[in-house]
Amino acid sequence: MTANGWLQILFFSACVLLVAKPLGKYLVRVYDGSVRWLAPVERGIYRLGGVDPAEDQHWTRYAGAMLLFSLATMLLTYIVLRLQHLLPLNPQHFAAVTDRQAFETSASFTTNTNWQSYVGESVMSYFSQMTQLAFHNFASAAVGIACAVALVRGIARKSAGKIGNFWVDLVRGTLYVLIPLSLVVALILVQQGAIQNFAKYLEVTTLEGAKQVIAMGPVASQEAIKQLGTNGGGFFNANAAHPFENPTPWTNFWSMFAIFMIPSALTYFLGRMVKNQKHGWAVWAAMFTLFFAGVATAYWAEARGNPIHAAHGIDVASSATNPGGNMEGKEVRFGIANSALYATVTTDASCGAVNAMHDSFTPIGGMVPLVNMQLGEVVFGGVGAGLYGMLMMVVLTVFIAGLMVGRTPEYLGKKIQAREVQMAMLYVLVFPAAILTMTAISVLVAPGLAGLNNAGPHGLSEILYAFSSTAANNGSAFAGLTGTTYYYNTMLGLNTLIGRFAMMVPMLALAGFLAEKKASPESAGTFPVTTPLFVVLLVGVVLIVSALTFFPALSLGPLVEHLMMLKGGLF
């Protein structure tokens, strides 16, 4: 580890903190209807869709609208991908996407997962990339923010029983948040060298005389919303390690900052909406504590390097002329610190973009992204999903605190009773059930094992990572697993749907239940949710409820592999 590496991590952390308040205040104005500079466009969309913007929806109606929108757009994407060969903007004349891959891709992008079992520049036409995949980058992100806003409304409102209007929240998040920010980020990326064109692929002659095809396309525009919407699906197969997507250290910083920008601001939004800003900052502090612990661990593990390499005479010590550590699978223009930081950020925020090969990380370094996802998308998390995921943990925290002092648990003046706890527990249990069940099946059946390129604990880690990534709606891959089979296309596609909607519906139910409750004044027995003690307890609940659930699986995967590494590859 170097001072320069730590300075870059600290600079990034400071920027994430500084953006929370101004962007959070803007989000409050967007979702309370104060921002109207695109009012004619907004009204036109409502009129075209037959939406009554004044309608305040019960949670069941809100959830139904969310599910209907997601289903309709998923089916549309499936049809377009299957008919890709007949549609325009296909200069490379790519064939129709296969049925199994079209299902997985449409499910993946609808759920904000963006898991890609295909090579983007060899499979998807410009039309598919722009009208379907990029569309879902906006839409799925706006859906996530809308649902988080609905939960915050449920907490803030008193005896209302309504949590807002899904269609209004969807439109406002897209028009006033995602599109403007994407334009700014896309221009920054283009200025730094990311490509943006509709040209045919170029065939060039290398210095050795060989022929090479260089892919072109509208990359910068998709890259911007991919990061801001915590989507992660790359235009190119190499994702953010590709110089056309992420050409410089400056674009690397903006990519990471864009990922955390909205999730960080949503904690300030929470404080303003519930009229308790200290609580918003307490939630931010809990998220940041988990983030910093993860990046410190990953940076330490990667900077330390592999002792097996050192034993064979490879210099793993850093110096002015040698980066040292474990540089396998990393871009030299980013180095170890920015690779560890990027891997932590992208898996904290369910983004899935990668600028290094996670499969090449050391066992502990690779375990950090895996654990980040298994925490349940709560460390800043996906846009919207991070906030509502952490708020589900907050409900469990105040419930546990209430049991500890022998009083009825309360959260911001609202009593947490049986049905609220049931929804929170359903949310918490669905996630590990999906991951562990599908992983167990895959290590027992022939189609699951057929996709493995590695045996032993590393092979288990690859399967576990794939199902953790898809259930967490992350989309990053550990690699080493062949996902382009009927088995994995189907299983991983189903897993993305479970990880999104089987968790979103209980969360919206909790929002509706809380919106129906009256708020009572705080008393001596009310557990404060603004103190360092609350932050510590919240972090503890996240680790105990989430991380320990997966400890047996982690023990058989990356932890065993770490011990094998220390023993020189022989256990």
* Structural tokens at position 29: 């104005």
Q: What is the mean pLDDT of residues 454-459?
A: 85
Compute the distance between CA of residue 302 and CA of residue 324 in angstroms, rounded to an integer. Answer: 9
Report the pLDDT value the prediction gives residue 569, as an integer from 0 to 100: 52
Max mean pLDDT among 290-304, 311-325, 515-529 falls in 290-304
Q: Other CB atoms closer than 10 Å to residue 187's CB: what's the count?
A: 14
> Which residue, 128, 254, 124, is CA-closest to 182?
254
- Sign, CA dihedral 348-350-351-354, equals positive
> Which residue, 377, 416, 413, 379, is CA-closest to 400?
416
pLDDT single digits (tens) 75-131: 999 999 999 999 998 988 899 999 999 999 999 999 999 888 888 888 999 999 889
Report the pLDDT value the prediction gives residue 452, as an integer from 0 to 100: 83
Say if residues 461 and 443 touch (Cβ distance below 8 Å).
Answer: no
Mean pLDDT of all residues in the chain? Answer: 90
Compute the distance between CA of residue 458 and CA of residue 455 in angstroms, rounded to an integer. Answer: 6
* Structural tokens at position 432: 């590990």
Q: What is the mean pLDDT of residues 343-347?
A: 93
Those residues with Cβ within 8 angstroms of residue 358's Cβ, 6 or more apart along the chain or in another chain: 329, 343, 366, 369, 465, 476, 477, 478, 479
The residues with which 71 forms a beta bridge, in sequence order, are: none
The widest CA-to-CA distance across the chain, in whole angstroms, is 79
Q: Does 570 have pLDDT greater than 60?
A: no
Q: What is the mean pLDDT of residues 402-415?
A: 82
Compute the distance between CA of residue 466 and CA of residue 476 in angstroms, rounded to an integer. Answer: 8
Report the pLDDT value the prediction gives residue 525, as an integer from 0 to 100: 64
Compute the distance between CA of residue 50 and CA of residue 517 in angstroms, rounded to an integer. Answer: 31
pLDDT single digits (tens) 457-477: 888 999 999 999 999 999 888
* Structural tokens at position 388: 């509502």
* Structural tokens at position 39: 């009012």
Say if residues 348 and 372 touch (Cβ distance below 8 Å).
Answer: yes
Q: What is the mean pLDDT of residues 133-158?
A: 94
Report the pLDDT value the prediction gives residue 564, as an integer from 0 to 100: 84
Q: What is the mean pLDDT of residues 390-406?
A: 88
The dihedrals phi and psi of 213, each to the nearest 5 degrees, come to -95, 125
Q: Does 133 have pLDDT greater than 80?
A: yes
Compute the distance between CA of residue 557 and CA of residue 412 in angstroms, rounded to an integer. Answer: 41
| C-alpha pair distances (Å), 217 with each of 93, 128, 224, 234, 443 | 14, 12, 14, 12, 39
Q: What is the mean pLDDT of residues 381-399?
A: 92
Report the pLDDT value the prediction gives residue 519, as an integer from 0 to 100: 81
Helix or strand run (H / E) with residue 415: strand 414-415
Q: Which residue has the tokens 């499969």?
A: 359
Three-state secondary structure call for residue 330: strand
pTM for the model: 0.93
pLDDT single digits (tens) 192-250: 999 999 888 998 998 888 989 898 989 999 999 999 999 888 888 888 899 999 999 99
pLDDT single digits (tens) 8-54: 999 999 999 999 999 999 999 999 999 889 999 999 999 999 999 99
Report the pLDDT value the prediction gives residue 199, as an integer from 0 to 100: 87
Q: Which stretches within 34-133 are classed as H helix?
A: 39-49, 59-82, 99-110, 120-123, 126-128
Q: What is the mean pLDDT of residues 390-401?
A: 92
Q: Does 419 have pLDDT greater than 50?
A: yes
Report the pLDDT value the prediction gives residue 233, as an integer from 0 to 100: 82
Report the pLDDT value the prediction gives residue 524, as an integer from 0 to 100: 65
Q: Does 521 have pLDDT greater than 70?
A: yes
Q: What is the DSSP string of 276-297?
A: -HHHHHHHHHHHHHHHHHHHHH
Say if residues 115 and 496 touch (Cβ distance below 8 Å).
Answer: yes
Q: If pLDDT is split at 50, 70 and 90, which confidence band does 518 have?
A: confident
Q: If pLDDT is split at 50, 70 and 90, which confidence band does 571 have?
A: very low
Q: What is the DSSP string of 163-229?
A: ---HHHHHHHIIIIIIHHHHHHHHHHHHHHT--B--PPPEEEE-TTS-EEEE--SBHHHHHHHHHHT
The length of the chain, given as a count of residues: 571
Report the pLDDT value the prediction gives residue 290, as an integer from 0 to 100: 95
| Amino acid, single-letter form, for residue 174 | T
